């Protein structure tokens, strides 16, 4: 099979296409013929050696896949050859998504939403599961609650805004000036231009904050949370912020996304109900993976996807 590999860590130019052995599905796995592979910021961090999840190269990057089942391993009964599937298998271990074929545990993929193509389905798993798990599993969001979602035009943020709205929350989000209209189009009730307005000056008393930015955002977010609220962060929360949160009975959840078939099924339901739509900023062919990584570094609206 053709796959994008790297033999050293570095910039986008370390990525190149090479022939690799075809994977075979082990017991409990399916072999997926990949039609599209989503790219996430973690991919670039691993490629550059800043986040060595996969150890030393060579390795095949990527976790987001959408494609068709090519074969099933022993003991698999939920899928058959030809099924259209999507998922984020094996994270944070190697899934090898940037390839023509990928073997995936059957309990870490799901049937692709019927209402979108493979490109958009590949844009959904990692960012969508991060948003879903952050809001639902960790945040325990409820209808009519007030939620603040940072970076509402980003890969995770633009999906989180839609999910929170679909679950009945009042959603406020932050964005840069050129992305305000996009975030409004997702259904956000209020969008704050963070370059001209301090979000802590917004109407406070939020029940939940989803923090995706880092820096001092976690501690600053406590200022707009009600006593007893929830701060869900994708990044480390400083001890000082945790101490302040404890004084006000604010629950702090530091989360990392995990493979989640149940979550994928829920995301697919929202997509097919037309309540969730992943936005794809640009699509690149497999042999332009380096260019795709360089484009992602410009922080486009939504997601970047490779077609295989």
pLDDT digits (tens, 9 = 90+) for 210-255: 999 888 889 999 999 999 999 999 999 999 999 999 999 999 999 9
Nearest to 296 by CA among 64, 45, 41, 16: 41
Q: Beta strands of 82-123 (E only): which ranges?
A: 84-87, 101-105, 109-111
Per-residue CA distances from 270 to 32, 164, 167, 273, 281 (Å) = 24, 11, 10, 5, 21
How far, in Å, CA of 8 to CA of 10, rounded?
6
How far, in Å, CA of 165 to CA of 13, rounded?
40
Domains of the chain: 2-124+278-307 (3.90.180.10), 130-254 (3.40.50.720)
Q: In the predicted model, what is the mean pLDDT of residues 190-210?
A: 87
Q: Is residue 201 over pLDDT 90?
A: no
pLDDT digits (tens, 9 = 90+) for 243-302: 999 999 999 999 999 999 999 999 999 999 999 999 999 999 999 999 999 999 999 999
pLDDT digits (tens, 9 = 90+) for 97-107: 999 999 999 99
Question: Considering the chain, what is the average pLDDT of its residues?
Answer: 96
197: confidence class by pLDDT, cuts 50, 70, 90: confident
State the pLDDT at residue 203: 63
């Amino acid at each position: 099979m053709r796959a994008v590999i790297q033999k050293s860590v570095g910039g986008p130019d370390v990525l190149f296409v090479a022939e690799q052995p075809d994977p075979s599905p082990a017991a409990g796995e399916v072999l997926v013929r990949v039609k599209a592979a989503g790219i996430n910021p973690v991919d670039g961090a691993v490629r550059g050696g800043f986040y060595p999840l996969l150890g030393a190269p060579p390795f095949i990057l990527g976790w987001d896949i959408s494609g068709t089942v090519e074969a099933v391993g022993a003991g698999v009964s939920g899928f058959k050859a030809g099924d259209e599937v999507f998922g984020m298998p094996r994270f944070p271990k190697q899934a090898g998504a940037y390839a023509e074929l990928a073997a995936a545990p059957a309990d870490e993929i799901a049937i692709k939403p019927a209402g979108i193509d493979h490109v958009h389905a590949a844009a959904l798993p990692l960012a969508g599961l991060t948003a879903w798990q952050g809001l639902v599993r960790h945040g325990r969001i409820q209808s009519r609650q007030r939620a603040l979602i940072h970076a509402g035009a980003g890969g995770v943020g633009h999906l989180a805004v839609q999910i929170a709205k679909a679950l009945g929350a009042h959603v406020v989000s932050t964005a840069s000036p050129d992305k305000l209209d996009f975030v409004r189009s997702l259904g956000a009730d209020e969008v704050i231009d963070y370059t001209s307005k301090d979000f802590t000056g917004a109407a406070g008393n939020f029940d939940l904050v989803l923090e995706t930015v880092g820096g001092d955002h976690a501690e600053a977010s406590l200022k707009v949370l009600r006593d007893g609220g929830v701060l869900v962060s994708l990044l480390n929360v400083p001890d000082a912020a945790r101490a302040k949160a404890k004084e006000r009975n604010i629950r702090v959840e530091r989360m990392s996304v995990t493979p989640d078939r149940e979550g994928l099924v829920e995301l697919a339901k929202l997509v097919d109900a037309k309540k969730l739509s992943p936005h794809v900023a640009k699509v690149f062919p497999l042999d332009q993976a380096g260019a795709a990584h360089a484009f992602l570094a410009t922080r486009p609206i939504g997601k970047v996807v490779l077609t295989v």
